[in-house]
Structure 1
């Protein structure tokens, strides 16, 4: 069983399944971030740190569900979106945990790093303040001084 990584073609046309890191880097036009302890026998998703790659290359990342034939899908034509990953955090962490516990495809250190990635994502504020006030109090918190 593999962790399948796919890449969407330009403007969403076509899905590509690179087999090697070199092939993936050629498709993306950039270097990717590798796991600390790659496990090539379990597929490209067990070699490439897809979360950090998507973040560093500012690419959208989808995480497959049980009905998908892929585990991770990089969309180079869309920007990285923390809020989308935050929404799917529970599904993503479940998939990561299952792929680690039931049939270990990641090393302990890479598993922990993936979980930490999603824990950091979930701490990001959901909506930016329109008033520039980081407290989230909005307009009422920015009333003029008396």
Structure 2
């Protein structure tokens, strides 16, 4: 079933939103969801994921809606950590060693609007990198469960 971008964004916002700033402070969760077969390859393997995360971080730190959440982050370290996280989640050989999302975001006052904004920025970066919509949905579906731990203001 193909899901429209706006509908899926609302669900998948949970996906990426502000999972990034926490990526440098704590150990990774012991388990991660199973990656869809071939997603790592569809994202261009590590070089493609690196380009995507470079673009994404450059965009997110400038976004007026959510850039403030990233003001303390070191962009290059953030890019590297997110690259490892997406690489691992998508079935690649990388090992994400960043923070668990719940404790990393506990004091960040993140609401659904922040989360939605981050997903929109990620989608824009994926569009700019030429990642097909179906592959975008596959990645967002892996990231979506993180919303429970990222959104702290309900």
- Structure 2 length as normaliser, TM-score? 0.33
User: When you count strand as a share of all residues, which structure comes out higher?
Assistant: 1
- Find the structure with the greater CA-based Rg: 1
- Structure 1 length as normaliser, TM-score? 0.35
User: When you count helix as a share of all residues, which structure comes out higher?
Assistant: 2
Q: Whose RCO is larger (CA < 8 A, sep 6+)?
A: 2
